[in-house]
Amino acid sequence: MPARSRGLWTGREFGLSCRPVGHPLAGATISSVEKLTGQSFSADFSFLEREDGERIQFTRSEARALALMVNRPDRVLTRDQILDAVSEPGSDKRDRNIDFLINRIRRKLGDDARDPRFIATRYGEGYVWIDRAPAAREKYPETHVVVGPLRGLENLGDLRPHARDFATALCAAVKSALGAERNVVLLPEIPPPTAFAGEAPRLSVDLTFFEEEGRINCIAAARDFRSDHILALHRLLLPNAPGPGGQTADSAAEVARLLLDNAWHRMATRVENAVPLPVAMFEAASGSSMADGTTKDSDRRLREIISLAETRYEKVWLQNEARLRSLREAAPDDPVLKLMAAVNLHSKYVSIGHVIFQGDNVDTRQDEDEIERLVLEALPHVQAQPDYAITAAKLLHFVDRGYFDLAHALTEDAYRASVSATNSLVLVGQMRGFAGETEAAIRCLDQALNLVTPGSKAHLYTLVIKGQVLKAVADFDRIKTVKKAVYAGSVTTGMFLEPLLANPERPSLRARAVAMMLSRGRARGMLRHMHYVGARLFRDRAHGANVLQSPLSLFAGRFGHTIIPDEITKAFAGYLPGP
């Protein structure tokens, strides 16, 4: 549970927000009742503050009774217990007085004794503070970002509506930046993770307001919702012009951009990720997990799921590209940002290359030039940081311009110095596979698989690399184990890999079924994709040819040998069977 949920007055979510005004956790709960009242207690329960700023005062006896009951939810308290808590020395101690006291509190809370939301009567026993929220509250839909809590509104007096307008505009700006498929909600008070359907939100953006010389100051903090770690901070003066539009909307859009860009940068590069940088960059932007199919789904359903996944991958790539551009404009000489920009260019071909290569006259040279330039500029500055150095080495090998020996040496040096076992094992395993050091590669990849969460993006990423390394040496016995693990994590990923990992002499029924699902253009795009991000990078051309044997056999069997791209025929002349 996030740190913000600790130290509650009651330890539970009540219909009424039972946290002290001015306390760091004030108003961190929203429920069905709060939608009617929008109110929270002061620290000593001496008053109740409504959302509109109106305060309802409680007498000393009422406050003491409230404190006793709120801190003992669902426990019946006798009249004598309440009487002892509220009585002053020398006062008239009659339990009948407690009934009048409870009735006064109920009127102030807007509670109904016949249908209580807060205080229920237990006839012959006493009273109990009840929590009716679970029965009445609807869970919030799956949410990616929460804007809230809003702190310090009580500091603003007449300026309070202006602060709320800014919060509303910021919520809209975050929603606009993330896209329609991401749910962004404004919650002036934050409920616990259990109040959200599905997974808890990824991010929260809390706003703290205070006034100085008639102007509203705001500190906006983007946090990892699940850990409460601060990812980005920004302080601003709200525009003078009130209202949700105009300057307020422009200011909110700028704050949203700054917070989202910097939060993504922090999530993608934090040490605790312990996964390859491309995976971390994707996970930092992708949000909720994507839908996956089953082996029983129809071809149509599987195509729909794959199409949705491709759309998501493209949107994530475009978002990351825009964020990197913005971050690099602010820090053009930052070597890590340069390396991340190179990684993002490479990721475009890895994640959606099969779509890109369906087009005619696809020229990769401009992107390769840019990757090479960015990596060479960054390398002198990141070489001492093993996790970045090993990523730079992989990218230099990818551009395929005579850097293999340098890249191999950089990888091994970085591997020996790295303190991130998972990241270094995956990348050195892949590079050793490209070098033809198959068993050394598999040892690294198997150890990495033991360190990552089964079914996670990092797990699937490592399995795909392992399958490719084994396919290069036609080890179909061990490939069966890889395929089983891939299907356990993602059926659609398994189906996508079927043509690549199939035995060309005995292709599986699934591999043949996938081949039948493909159009000619898509099949050709997949061949060019498999060649570009995999087969051409093996130093032994026989290994690269092995990677392509299965899809070439399946697709040529369906569409004829004219489907084989010229670059593949040229690269592996003498290693592939003829028509």
**What would the pLDDT profile of 173-187 be if each residue is shown by its tens digit?**
999 998 877 889 998
pLDDT given at position 125 = 82
**What would the pLDDT profile of 107-120 be if each residue is shown by its tens digit?**
888 887 877 888 88
Domain segments of the chain: what residues? 3-136, 145-269, 276-285+298-352+360-419
Residue 357 CB contacts under 8 Å (≥ 6 apart), including other chains = 524, 525, 526, 528, 529, 532
Burial class (CB in 10 A: 0-12, 13-18, 19+), 553: buried
Report whether pLDDT(320) > 60: yes
pLDDT given at position 68 = 87
Instruction: Give CA 8 to chain center in angstroms.
Output: 27
**Domain 276-285+298-352+360-419 in CATH 2.60.40.680:** no
CATH code of domain 145-269: 3.40.50.11830
**3-136 and 276-285+298-352+360-419 share one CATH topology?**
no
Report whether pLDDT(91) > 70: no
pLDDT given at position 317 = 92
pLDDT given at position 396 = 96
pLDDT given at position 481 = 95
Report whether pLDDT(369) > 60: yes
Report whether pLDDT(568) > 90: yes
Residue type, 478: R
Query: In the block, which residue shows the tokens 């590069």?
Result: 269
What number of helices (H) and strands (E) belong to the chain? Answer: 22, 11
Selected residue with higher pLDDT from 365 and 33: 365
Angle at which helix 491-501 crosses helix 541-559, to 10 degrees, equals 100
Average of per-residue pLDDT across 158-163: 90
**DSSP state for residue 537 in the 8-state scheme:** G
* Tokens linked to 283: 């996970």
The alpha-helical segments, DSSP class H, found in 299-420 are 299-330, 335-356, 365-382, 386-399, 404-417
Average of per-residue pLDDT across 263-289: 82
Average of per-residue pLDDT across 498-522: 92
SS3 398: helix
Rounded Cα distance between 415 and 448, Å, is 13
Report whether pLDDT(305) > 90: no
Rounded Cα distance between 260 and 285, Å, is 9
Report whether pLDDT(24) > 50: no
Share of the chain above pLDDT 70, in %: 85
Rounded Cα distance between 497 and 507, Å, is 12
Which pairing describes strands 184-186 and 77-78: parallel, antiparallel, or unpaired? unpaired
Q: Are 47 and 67 in contact (CB under 8 A)?
A: no
pLDDT given at position 196 = 75
SS3 228: coil
Rounded Cα distance between 578 and 516, Å, is 22
Q: Are 433 and 464 in contact (CB under 8 A)?
A: no
The overall pTM is greater than 0.85: no
Report whether pLDDT(137) > 60: no
pLDDT given at position 20 = 35
> Which class is domain 3-136?
mainly alpha
Share of the chain above pLDDT 90, in %: 50
Residue type, 137: R
pLDDT given at position 16 = 36
Q: Residue 372 forms beta bridges with which residues?
A: none
Kindly report the three-state secondary structure assignment for every residue of 140-204: ECCCCEEEEEEECHHHCHHHHHHHHHHHHHHHHHHHHHHCCCCCEEECCCCCCHHHECCCCCCEE
Average of per-residue pLDDT across 418-424: 89
pLDDT given at position 9 = 31
Nearest residue to 222 via CA among 205, 235, 236: 205
